[in-house]
Amino acid sequence: MKKLILITSILIIISMYFVPPYKELNDLAIIDKIGIEQEKDIYHIYVREVIPTKNNNGIHYQYKIYDIETNQLEDVTKELQKKVKKKLYLNKVKSLITNINSDINSNIPIKPKTIYHTNNIKEELGIKS
């Protein structure tokens, strides 16, 4: 009986310290598309946040676009976190849309599934000019 109580208390203590913290979905900014446009030495970065809303027909997705400017691509996440009040969730980034022909994937800390090269970045992200 003492062994059972001891094992149970040890498991409770271990679970208190090794369970990852709970993060509410409303506190996360889920990013699915990123657009990077280079004009001279300034990078314009457009980030599309997915906002799922529930209605009678199921889940409906709305989008919010953030626009930031920076001189260095390595500072993208820092600059973006300043603008977005929620914690960034960048694991679901599906595509990176850019007009830069160099190897942009090595300069940014974000790893998208696909990279598109186009001159119509705003159109690809659904931004109305």
pTM (2 d.p.) = 0.72
Q: How does pLDDT run across 17-46, given as a tens digit for each residue? A: 776 666 677 788 889 998 888 888 888 889
CATH fold for the domain made of 27-125: Nucleotidyltransferase; domain 5 (3.30.420)
Cα–Cα dist 63/96, whole Å: 16
Q: What is the pLDDT of residues 59-117, one digit of tens each?
A: 888 999 999 888 887 777 788 888 888 888 888 888 888 888 766 666 676 778 888 88
Per domain, the residue ranges of the chain are 27-125
Tell how strand 95-98 and strand 114-117 pair up.
parallel
- Contact call for residues 73 and 107 (beta carbons, < 8 A): yes
